[in-house]
Chains A and B, each alone.
Chain A
Amino acid sequence: MTWTLFHKLGSPKWFYEISSRWLPGLACAAVLLLVTGTVWGLVFAPEDYQQGNSFRIIYIHVPAAFLAQSGYIFLAVAGLISLVWKMKLADVALQAAAPVGAWMTVLALVTGSIWGKPTWGTWWVWDARLTSMLILLFLYFGVIALGQAITNRDSAAKACSVLALVGVVNIPIIKYSVEWWNTLHQPATFTLTRKPAMPAEMWLPLLIMVVGFYCFFAVVVLMRMRLAVLQRESRTAWVKAEIERTMPKRTLR
């Protein structure tokens, strides 16, 4: 069953149709979760006994940091699929997700730096997790720059796949070497194995925000992928019919 779904994804037309059915639900979920999480986290969650209200930026910072890391893993998985199964849709997914992941990394860095000012008294410290986040941003920039430098679409996608895979092998090494180099940052907020140290009223909105950010990421990537698929397949009959259907007034002659 799952393999049939996987093979069907090889067809851009099938993806375009099925994604138009997924999108409304995902978009609603994203909006609902983000609004609930933001309001709950910023207004109703209790104050931190040490940091006061300034801790509330956690509700943006932690989900963005989650997405920054998962986004790169997503790139590598798409790259692997593209290299092994030569699936065009994986190429599209890789290049659609790279800028979104890079923006999430920027968001995590900026919110972290804003959070650092009241708590550590400085905008930036060269601590392990901040530094490895910055390196992750450079890795994203590398993938984006390589994709834009190569003019041939298919070789650009393949080159990005190789680079993303090399990067993902290196990420743990970079992470541990940087951690060894210096550590000041508090340990990870969420782990799957331990019970969180925060009270439930504090981490529940955080969990909602994390899930909401994942939905948001999925919606943005799907929309970017759909546009890319339309551009790539613009010569085919189904795309012409689709454009005819959605924009009947602007007939192209």
Chain B
Amino acid sequence: MTGFVRSLVLREARLLFRRPAELVNPLIFFALVVALFPLAVGPQAELLRELSPGLIWVAALLAVLLSLDGLFRSDYEDGSLEQWMLSPRPLAVLVLAKVLTHWVISGLALVLLSPVLALMLGLPSQCLGTLILSLLLGTPTLSLLGAIGAALTVGLRRGGLLLALLILPLYIPVLILGSGALQASLQGMSSSGQLLWLGSLAVLTLTLSPFAISAGLRISVGE
């Protein structure tokens, strides 16, 4: 059971590191979107600090979504997905291993980049712990939900915009809780309620979404 998961994780990691552009582009996008807002609303430090929780979370959410567009595409094109369907291993486990590997590499990079951008927006440094914790708990949910959309749209030629349309409404609870946690810590209140909710959402998607992802892949490959 563990052997094939390990080889799958290693393969995914190797593939991601051999195409660094796919890893770096969402991060550049994240930084770019954050940089657009001061240009649009003005450089007042007070205003930017007020807005920063929402800005960072919206930018992070869009970056995760962008990174997921190609999640299954190369596997679909080279036929690996068909082999997954045929393999006696449970598809949900394979899918979970793949998505989590993707998250560990691209999601963690996003989490590590976020404090820099937050400080640039003027978020006080005592909020950085909440920021990192909320992103650590929230981005797995974003990755897993996005993978459902990626699985359903993998066979389509221009799935990118459709993926956003399908998945963004489902991201709303994470957005509310994540930016709410940050807002609370910015106002000096405890953010543990929101963080616990983010954690329970992560557990919920971790248990349920692999089945939806594998159902989506079966449909896309069967077409």
Contact = CB atoms under 8 A, between A and B. Distances in A.
Interface of A: 83, 135, 138-139, 141-142, 145-146, 149-150, 152, 155, 158-159, 162-163, 165-167, 169-170, 173-174, 177-178, 180-181
Interface of chain B: mostly helix, strand, loop or mixed? helix
Interface of chain A: mostly helix, strand, loop or mixed? helix
B172 to A, nearest CB: 6
Contact of A155 (B148, B168, B220): B220
A177 B172 contact: yes
B3 interface: no
Given A152-B223, A162-B219, A139 B169 contact: yes
Contacts of A152: 223
Contacts of A142: 165-166, 169
A146 B173 contact: no
Contact of A146 (B162, B169, B201): B162
Contacts of B155: 150
Given A177-B176, A181-B176, A150 B156 contact: yes
B173 A159 contact: no
A67 to B, nearest CB: 19
A162 B165 contact: no
A149 B220 contact: no
B151 to A, nearest CB: 9
Given A139-B169, A142-B165, A165-B212, A159 B176 contact: no
A155 B222 CA distance: 8
Contact of B180 (A146, A163, A165, A181): A181
Interface in B170-187: 170, 172-173, 176-177, 180
A211 B153 CA distance: 38
State which size class the interface on B falls in: 20 to 34
B215 interface: yes
B152 interface: yes
B173 A173 contact: yes
Given A142-B166, A145-B166, A162-B152, 5 more contacts: A138-B168, A141-B165, A163-B148, A167-B169, A177-B173
A72 to B, nearest CB: 12
Interface string B206-223: 001000100110011011
Contact of A162 (B201, B208, B212): B212
Contacts of A167: 169-170
A159 B169 contact: no
B152 A159 contact: yes
B170 A170 contact: yes
B187 to A, nearest CB: 15
A108 B53 CA distance: 32
Interface string B11-36: 00000000000000000000000000
8 contacts: A135-B169, A145-B165, A150-B223, A162-B219, A165-B212, A166-B170, A170-B170, A170-B173
A169 B173 CA distance: 12
A145 B160 CA distance: 13
Contacts of A155: 219-220, 222-223
Among all A-B residue pairs, the 8 with the closest Cβ atoms: A177-B173, A155-B223, A138-B169, A142-B166, A177-B176, A158-B219, A173-B173, A152-B223
